Amino acid sequence: MLAEHREAWERVVRHPFVLGLGAGTLPRPAFAAYMAQDYLFVDALARTVAYGIAKAPSAAEARPLAAFLQTLLGAEDDLFGRVFDELGMPPPAERRPEPLPVTARFGRFVEGVGRRGTFEEIATALYVTEGTYADWASRLVAEGRRPDDALYQSWIDIHADPALAELVAHLGLWIDAAPAEREPALSNVFRRALRHEAAFWNAFVPTRTKMREGGHG
C-alpha cells in the first residue's frame, strides 16, 4: 500500500513546512498557527485511537493503542502546553480556538473512520497520521538537521521517538494481515488520509515569507 501511494507520501513527509521546521527557517507565527490547529485535531485523533482500542480483535492489539493514547493525552498534551506557553499563547481553555475548515474536515474524517470503520480501517488511518510523522521526524534527525529553535526541536524529537515507530510497525502488521479483499477499502482510507495530511500542512505554509527549502543552503 505504501508503494502504491509513495509519491503522495513523499510529498507529505518532505513538505516545505516540515523542511522549514528542520532548518529552523519556519517563521514562528506559522508554527503557532499550526500548533493551535493541530491541538484541535489531536482531540479527534485521540477519539479515533479510543475507537480502535474498542474495536481491537483482542487485548494484544488493544495494548499498543492504549499505550499510544496515553502518550497522546499525556506527554504530547504537556508539550502542547509548554509550546503554547513559550509562544505566549493563552491555554486552549481560555483561548477557545475555532477549527479552520481544513482541521474540521480532517478531524471529521479520522473520527468518522473511528466510529464507522473496521479495526483495519482505523489502523490504516492511524498508519498515515502517525507513520508520516514518525517518518518526517526520523528523517530530519537522520539528516542531522537540528534547528536552533528549541521548540521546533522538541516537536521533532517527540515524533522521532522509537515508541512511535514501534506503534507504526504494529499498525503495518495489522494492515498486512487483513484479507486481500479488504485492500481496496483500506487503500481508499490510506489515500484520503494522505490527502487530508497534505492539505493540513499546506494550510500553514507561509505564503509571503519565502522559505529556503531544505535549509542549510
Partner 1 sequence: MAERLTDKLRAAASAVWDAQAEHPFIRGIGDGSLDVERFKHWVRQDYLFLTDYARMLSLAAARAPDLDAMTRLAELAHATLTTEMSLHRAYAEEFGISAEELERERPAPTCRAYTDFLVRTAATGSFPELVGALLPCMWGFSDVAQALKRGAQPADGRYRAWIDMYASPEFAALAGWCRELLDRVGAGLPPSELRAVEDAFVTSCRYEYLFWEMAWKREAWPV
The site for partner 1 (CB under 8 A) is made up of: 43, 46-48, 50-51, 53-56, 58-59, 62-63, 66-67, 69-70, 73-74, 77, 114-115
Residue 59 CB, shortest distance to partner 1, in Å, is 5
- CB nearer to partner 1: pick between 123 and 137: 123
To partner 1, the closest distance from the beta carbon of 98 in angstroms equals 17
Angle at 92 between CA 87 and CA 95, to 5 degrees: 85
Select 43 or 149, whichever has its Cβ closest to partner 1. 43
DSSP-derived secondary structure letter, 182: G
CB of 170 to partner 1, least distance (A): 14
Least separation in angstroms between residue 177's CB and partner 1 is 19
Tell me whether residue 111 or residue 135 sits nearer to partner 1 (CB atom): 111
The answer to whether the Cα torsion of 70, 76, 80, 81 is positive or negative is: positive
Residue with cell 482531540: 43
Write out the H or E segment, with its range, that includes residue 144. Answer: none
Q: How far is the CB of 206 from partner 1 (least distance, A)?
A: 30
Retrieve residue 174's grid coordinates.
Answer: 495489522
Q: How far is the CB of 64 from partner 1 (least distance, A)?
A: 10
Set of cell numbers at residue 13 = 513527509
The answer to whether the beta carbons of residues 95 and 89 sit under 8 Å apart is yes
Asked if residue 148 lies in contact with residue 103, where contact means CB atoms within 8 angstroms, the answer is no
* Closer residue to partner 1, CB minimum distance, 52 or 131: 52
Burial 147-175 (b: 16+ CB within 10 A, else e): bebebbbebbebbbeeebbebbebbbebb
Smaller CB separation from partner 1, 55 or 159: 55
Alpha carbon distances (Å) from 207 to 41, 89, 92, 202, 204: 22, 22, 26, 10, 9
| Nearer to partner 1 among residue 2 and residue 67 (C-beta) | 67
